[in-house]
Amino acid sequence: MVVLLTVLGIIALRLLDVSVGTLRITNLVRGKRFVAGILGFFESLSWVVAAGLVLSDLDEWYKVAAYAAGFGLGTALGGSIDRWIADGQVMVRIMAPIETPPVAGRMRDAGFRVTVVNAEGRDGEVRLTISAISRKRLPEALQLVHAANPAAFVTVDEVEAAQVTTMKAARIRK
């Protein structure tokens, strides 16, 4: 019974350590240093306790296996939590030949703000549709794009908005 509790404890500590570490890094990349610092405290605290349990007796192979299992599971859990939280903004760029169906109308109908630019690609004229959207709405946007134009090529990048404002089109056109 003690062995089972030790194994579960080590796995739980590593789950916490690694998943919180993933969230710490994503928050740091997004410029949230204070949140990243707090997460770093809990990450290192759980790591020290887990490492102490394992390093106290390396002859007990099950502790080492539990440590490694917790790392693997924590990596998957951290990525899942980050995707579930879906904090931040992404820049979506949709490129498609000019003769294929446009996607901007469907995206606007769904409440996305888009900019359309006619451009020239390797094989001729293309339509470049650009939209900065919440990461939470990315799956919805991708579904709309692929329903409207399956031939579209889509790229997605995380962005840090310097300033988010709403501008009426009349102000832009003057």
Q: Report d(CA 87, CA 34) in Å as an integer.
A: 16
Q: Report d(CA 71, CA 115) in Å as an integer.
A: 43
In a shared domain, residues 96 and 124: yes
- Res 43 pLDDT > 60: yes
Which of 86, 61, 92, 77 is closest to 154 using CA atoms? 92
In a shared domain, residues 80 and 99: no
Note the pLDDT tens digit of each residue in 90-101.
899 999 999 989
In a shared domain, residues 78 and 143: no
Mean pLDDT of the region 41-68: 91
Note the pLDDT tens digit of each residue in 137-149.
999 999 999 999 9
The count of domains in the chain is 2
**Residue 28 pLDDT level (bands cut at 50, 70, 90):** confident
Which of 43, 12, 77, 69 is closest to 61 using CA atoms? 69
User: What's the pTM?
Assistant: 0.62
In a shared domain, residues 79 and 100: no
**Residue 174 pLDDT level (bands cut at 50, 70, 90):** very low
In a shared domain, residues 29 and 71: yes
Could you say which of 38, 55, 85 is where a domain stops? 85
**Residue 133 pLDDT level (bands cut at 50, 70, 90):** very high
CA dihedral 160, 164, 168, 172 (to 10 degrees): -50
Could you say which of 85, 111, 140 is where a domain stops? 85
Q: What is the pLDDT of residue 168?
A: 57
- Res 74 pLDDT > 60: yes
In a shared domain, residues 77 and 93: no
Could you say which of 85, 118, 149 is where a domain stops? 85
Q: What domain range is 76 assigned to?
A: 2-85
Share of the chain above pLDDT 70, in %: 91
In a shared domain, residues 112 and 144: yes
In a shared domain, residues 97 and 144: yes
In a shared domain, residues 80 and 93: no
